[in-house]
Amino acid sequence: MNRVVVTGMGALTPIGHDVTAYRDALMEGVCGIAPITRFDTADSKYTLAAEVKDFDPSARLDKAVLRKTDRFTQYALWAAEEAMAQSGLTAEGAVDPDRFGVYFGSGIGGFETFCEEDKKLLEQGARKVSPQFISKMISNIAAGNLAIRYGAHGPCVAITTACATGTTAIGEAYRTLAGGYADAILCGGSEASITPLAVAGFANCMALTQSDDPNAASLPFDARRGGFVMGEGAGVLVLERAEHAIARGATILCEVVGYGSTCDAHHVTAPDPSARCSARAIKEAFGDRDLARETVYFNAHGTGTPMNDTTETTALKATFGEDGAKQIIVSSTKSMTGHMLGAAGAVEAIAAILALREGLVPPTINLREPDPACDLDYTPNTARQANVTLALSNSLGFGGHNACVAFARWEG
């Protein structure tokens, strides 16, 4: 079995357009939630989102690409450029194209394009629907565009596990590299679904908060929580076989040391409150390590929905025991970014890696009234110094998907 390392990271988020800006905002506790600007919410109870603001894709993408891609693909391409540049895989001969893959997904895909073209159909007729409608909208097309852009002729897998997509993509890429089926894989997730239809859909299944206060909206583990806030963006990692990265002199950011993937098989939207299967995913990622010898940071899924947060707390207790769970440092960065859906897991994996590398844990902001049922250490309101030796990033998704990935310092 091959060791697997991270050699590149790229992020586009509501609180920063690159990893450095994202990192600084995380540690400062910046809230990326604000009134929706994409459409008029005057007649809606749901007025907040975590949008990617001041985004100019033409700074990295040419007009032809912009014309042929949905926003979710543009987000993916933007973040991938940063990750690839950091990894050094863009250099001539850095990787065999036939051994270079893409594992990338989206929870929803080109929903903005879907809504635009449906409106054309209804108002102007079938002849006005764009011939590029399908190739802009389908969920695999971000992965396809990434492979085209970087000449990745190895496995190209488009993963959709709802809000666990980004984590699942990283984990499955890890397994592929560990098994020796590729040398390097570009992986992660993107999402751009802040549209009237998506907001209405999530709202009507009782998933969204009705708060109109950005600092009282995304409230993981807080007794006041009433639903999540939609976010958007992209997170991209470059994973490599350690031997391959060392041979080409790459800078290794950390090691991927575990991955767990399970399904509740319980309900289409609600997590299994017993947390049996979500705990098993965490256990598989943690492996056979000794908790007493580790300082663990756990980036929680932490959506701010009543059931998710209590279930995730239960899962940690089931994994590590009541006392062990209280030793772990937990936080939910969704308190700042909102819920980035298919992009969430990848962006949160980057937050976990940053905590591991820098010894600074991002906070759960606006945690003012702790829920008695959520009684762990959630790093309320202020970033904290900690000598993190193992970082876990956890995700759950509609359909019962559970995924958890573990990172450790590279020791050579």
Q: What are the residue numbers of the active site?
A: 163, 301, 339
Angle between helical axes of 71-87 and 141-150 (0-180°, round to 10): 40
Which token pair is 283?
A: 């256990």
370 φ, ψ (degrees, to nearest 5): -55, 135
Pick the closest to residue 50 from 189, 220, 192 (CA basis).
192
Residue 191 in contact with residue 228, Cβ under 8 Å?
Answer: no
Report d(CA 115, CA 240) in Å as an integer: 38
Rg for the chain, CA atoms, rounded: 20
Contacts of 369 (CB under 8 A, 6+ apart): 222, 223, 224
Report d(CA 266, CA 276) in Å as an integer: 11
Contacts of 72 (CB under 8 A, 6+ apart): 106, 108, 109, 110, 111, 112, 142, 190, 191, 192, 193, 234
The neighbour count for residue 333, using CB atoms within 10 Å, is 30
Report d(CA 152, CA 175) in Å as an integer: 18
Which token pair is 391?
A: 């970082």
CA dihedral 143, 149, 151, 154 (to 10 degrees): -10
Collapsed DSSP state (helix, strand, coil) of residue 385: strand
Q: How far is CA 366 from CA 29, 204, 305, 407, in A?
A: 9, 25, 15, 27
**3-state secondary structure string, 20-75?**
HHHHHHHHHCCCCCEECCCCCCCCCCCCEEECCCCCCHHHCCCHHHHHHCCHHHHH
